[in-house]
């Protein structure tokens, strides 16, 4: 019995000792100093410019709260891509050094120079060499050097064509959708198919044999024209002497957006001549975009 009490006391002492150790142990995470690269906000900026030593610059400008690419192309920008570039303003790091010798960090000839402009003035970030131990990159800003993951320079150095918006309609156009005219596509020529979306959200189809449900058409529009994104895009110069099957997206202000079907297989290619862009979709997605579920009855 006495022996059992001794064992219990020893176990109790061990538990108390562990509890005290854990309580008194320094909190390493709390002691780790994190430096904020800046106190800037994304809303502070209306222009972004990315410069490189040996290739053309990439530039974006905010227009009506929407980022547009200005260089090297004039196009709608992929909003997430621009936000990834801007995310450096919210970066934190454990390493901050005074910028006294730019050449030491490869910042005298930076691989990427990022300039953000807007209400808070002009702010310049330069990206230098990588630290061989941490594999982080030296970034210069406001007289300081920070060690940051390479993701920030990689976001800024993304190929410009990859930062073009891959949705065939701009957000303002998606909000104004009022119908589709598919009469010049071969599968709908006989029907001269047109779909109209009234202001009250009700669909009508010009073919008396069509018996669609409102829910089916709403789901089709949402999947095909509101949410769908192309797998990739490319720029092109429309050939006015070449004729392709085509259709039009109708907006509430009466504007009609013209699309041409360049290819069906192995991928679906839709061109928008007014933007000079070809949108590459999977075969299934492209087919669904131009074949609404109108439920034709015999």
CA-nearest of 256, 278, 259 to 269 is 278
Dump pLDDT digits (tens) for 190-210. 999 999 999 999 999 999 899
Residues 201, 277: one domain?
A: yes
Q: For residue range 18-64, what is the model confidence (pLDDT) as tens digits?
A: 444 444 444 444 447 789 999 999 999 999 999 999 999 999 999 99
Residues 6+ apart with CB under 8 A from 150: 130, 135, 136, 137
Token pair of 268, please? 């679906």
15: confidence class by pLDDT, cuts 50, 70, 90: very low
- Domain residues for the domain of 102 are 35-158
Average confidence (pLDDT) over 219-243: 94
Is residue 273 within 8 A of residue 238, CB to CB? The reply is yes
Tens digits of per-residue pLDDT, 61-98?
999 999 999 999 999 999 999 999 999 999 999 999 99
Beta pairing, strands 45-51 & 112-118: antiparallel
User: What token pair was written down for 20?
Assistant: 């005290």
Establish if 97 belongs to a structural domain.
Answer: yes
> Cβ-count burial of 185 within 10 angstroms (0-12 exposed, 13-18 middle, 19+ buried)?
middle
Indicate whether 119 and 227 sit together in one domain: no
Q: Is residue 25 part of a domain?
A: no
End-to-end, the C-alpha distance of the chain in Å comes to: 94
Total domain count for the chain?
2
- List residues bridging with 97 in a β-sheet: 145
**Whether 43 and 80 share a structural domain:** yes
pLDDT at 298: 76
């Amino acid at each position: 019995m006495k022996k059992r009490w001794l064992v219990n006391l020893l176990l109790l002492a061990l538990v108390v000792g562990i509890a005290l150790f854990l309580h008194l142990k320094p909190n390493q995470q709390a002691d780790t100093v994190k430096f904020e690269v800046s106190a800037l906000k994304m809303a502070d900026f209306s222009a972004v410019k990315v410069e490189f030593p040996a290739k053309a610059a990439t530039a974006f400008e905010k227009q009506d709260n929407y980022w547009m690419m200005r260089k090297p192309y004039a196009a709608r920008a992929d909003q997430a891509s621009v936000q990834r570039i801007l995310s450096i303003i919210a970066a934190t790091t454990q390493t901050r050094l005074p910028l006294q010798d730019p050449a030491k960090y490869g910042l005298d000839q930076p691989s990427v120079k990022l300039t953000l402009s807007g209400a808070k003035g002009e702010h310049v970030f330069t990206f230098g060499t990588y630290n061989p131990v941490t594999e982080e990159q030296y970034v210069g800003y406001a007289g300081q050097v920070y060690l940051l993951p390479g993701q920030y320079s990689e976001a800024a150095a993304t190929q410009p064509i990859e930062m073009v918006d891959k949705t065939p309609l701009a957000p303002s156009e998606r909000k104004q959708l009022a119908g589709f005219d598919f009469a010049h596509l071969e599968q709908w020529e006989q029907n001269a198919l047109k779909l109209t979306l009234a202001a009250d959200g009700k669909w009508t189809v010009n073919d008396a044999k069509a018996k669609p449900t409102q829910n089916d058409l709403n789901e089709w529009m949402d999947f095909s024209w509101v949410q769908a994104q192309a797998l990739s895009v490319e720029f092109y110069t429309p050939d006015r002497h070449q004729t392709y099957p085509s259709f039009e997206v109708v907006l509430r202000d009466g504007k009609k957006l013209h699309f041409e079907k360049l290819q069906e297989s192995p991928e679906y290619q839709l061109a928008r001549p007014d933007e000079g862009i070809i949108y590459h979709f999977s075969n299934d997605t492209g087919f669904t975009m131009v074949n609404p579920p109108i439920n034709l009855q015999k």
